[in-house]
Amino acid sequence: MVILSWLRFALGVIFLLIGMFLFGIQIIALFKFDYVLNRMQAAAMGDTLGIGSSLLGLMLLSGWNFTTLKLALVVIFLWCSSPVSSHLIARLEAVTNPDVKHRCEMPEEICESLEKQSQQRGEE
């Protein structure tokens, strides 16, 4: 039984250290990158991986109790809300920044029809 508690403690500390390492990478990337979408990618990595592994480490250290359930709910909430907010920020940047080049990954005839429609809307 003592071995299991030490193993749980070691795994909890390892996950906390992984989370802190990922947060460090996120902070360096936020200061290094100049473009908004690149910064957003670094922040999303810190949100999903850093917070997820840190909270998993805290859940392992806490044991099986009501606090673990609350931490699991926080992880689920962050995993659901972070992609939505990242998508909205990216869309805002794509709409408001004229330097962003829109890339169409569909067949050429569909891309051309979409470009014609957007040009017609711009003329109106």
So where are the chain's domains?
2-123
DSSP label of 99:
T
The distance from CA 89 to its chain's CA centroid, rounded to whole angstroms, is 12
Rounded Cα distance between 90 and 44, Å, is 12
Least confident of 3-17, 57-71, 103-117: 103-117
| Residue 15 CB burial class (10 angstroms; 0-12, 13-18, ≥19) | buried
Residues 100-116: tens digit of each pLDDT: 666 555 677 776 776 77
Q: What pLDDT is attached to residue 122?
A: 61
CB atoms within 10 A of CB 50: 20
For the residues 49-64, what does the mean pLDDT come to? 91
The band of 6, judged by pLDDT with boundaries at 50, 70 and 90, is: very high
Residue type, 60: L
pLDDT grade for 56, boundaries at 50, 70 and 90:
very high
Residue 55 has pLDDT above 60, yes or no: yes
Q: Which amino acid is at 24?
A: G
Rounded Cα distance, 104 and 76, in Å? 32
Query: How many Å apart are CA 69 and CA 65, to the nearest integer?
Result: 7
Global pTM value: 0.70
Least confident of 8-12, 58-62, 104-108: 104-108
82 neighbors 47 (Cβ within 8 angstroms): yes
**Mean pLDDT over all residues of the chain?**
83
Residue 115: its pLDDT value, please?
72
Which residues, 6 or more positions from 72, have their beta carbon under 8 angstroms from its beta carbon? 55, 59
Q: Give the pLDDT of residue 81.
A: 85
Q: Which two tokens stand for residue 97?
A: 């920044």
